[in-house]
Chains A and B, each alone.
Chain A
Amino acid sequence: MPMQAHEIEALLRKSFPNAQIKVDGDDGVHMSAVVIDESFRGQNRVQQQRAVYAALKGKMDGANGELHALALTTRAPD
């Protein structure tokens, strides 16, 4: 079943308690998320986004990946 924005945010909040998180999208399948967190400082985009996917614990992949598409933007705070 598709995931709602607040569910995605809650999951991300668990792994990134101090981050600025903004999740958009209303169909629950094609969603977008911006995560701005100190832990990303010095990491390249692949490392940053791997951490975000890890936080989503398998909601993304696999045949029953509820979240078919999550457009991600990640960076450290300015």
Chain B
Amino acid sequence: MSAQDQIKDKVTTNDVVLFMKGTKTMPQCGFSSKVAGVLNYMGVDYADVNVLADEEIRQGIKEYSDWPTIPQLYVKGEFVGGCDIFTEMTLSGELDTLLEAKGVTFDKDAAEQIRAHNS
């Protein structure tokens, strides 16, 4: 299966997918760690894909989304963004709205705490 097919399969068979450097328990880059950290804290169930473990996926994901950086977050097959956009959406509450709209469970109190902590 080509990298593009593997990616497509991953993002369509998992509600939430984070392509990152490292894993959700062992992130290996500040930006990946930030996104994984927030998702973990908010109790979101997501599949993590360590792009460092597979160079083809690392390059393939950038082609797939036409986005040059890692991490990349997908919700219900849709590319949501990288670390900057994810952070803005978390702090503005747009992430809550998106997850609710897509039927993805998360800990609302945790999200509120993150915003309170960063305000």
> Does A29 count as interface, using CB distance less than 8 angstroms?
no
CB nearest to A69 among chain B residues? B31
A45 and B67 within 8 A (CB): no
A58 to B85, CA, bound (A): 20
| B67 near A72: Cβ-Cβ < 8 Å | no
Q: Which residues of B contact A60 (CB under 8 A)?
A: 68-69
| Distance A46 CA – B66 CA, assembled complex (angstroms) | 10
Number of chain B residues whose Cβ lies closer than 8 Å to a Cβ of chain A: 15
- Taking CB atoms and an 8 Å cut-off, the chain A residues in 24-47 that contact chain B are 45-46
Does B64 sit within 8 A of A, measured CB to CB? no
Q: Is the CB of B68 within 8 A of A61?
A: yes
Q: Which bracket fits the contact residues of A?
A: 10 to 19
The reply to whether A49 and B84 form a contact with Cβ atoms under 8 Å apart is yes
Is the Cβ of B85 less than 8 Å from the Cβ of A49?
Answer: yes
List residues of B (86-112) whose CB comes within 8 Å of A's CBs: 88
From B62, B80, B81, B84, A61 is in contact (CB under 8 Å) with: B62
Taking the closest CB of chain B, its distance from the CB of A78, in whole angstroms, is: 16
* Interfacial residues of chain A within 62-78, with CB under 8 A of chain B in the complex: 62, 65, 69-73
For the complex, what is the distance from the CA of A45 to the CA of B66, rounded to whole Å? 14
Task: List, sorted by A's number, 20 A–B pairs whose CB atoms are closer than 8 Å.
Answer: A45-B81, A45-B85, A46-B79, A49-B81, A49-B82, A49-B85, A50-B66, A50-B67, A53-B67, A53-B68, A53-B69, A58-B68, A60-B69, A61-B62, A61-B69, A62-B59, A69-B31, A69-B69, A70-B69, A72-B84
Give the B-binding residues of A (Cβ under 8 A).
45-46, 49-50, 53, 58, 60-62, 65, 69-73
Seen from chain B, the residues whose Cβ lies within 8 Å of a Cβ on chain A are 30-31, 59, 62, 66-69, 79-82, 84-85, 88
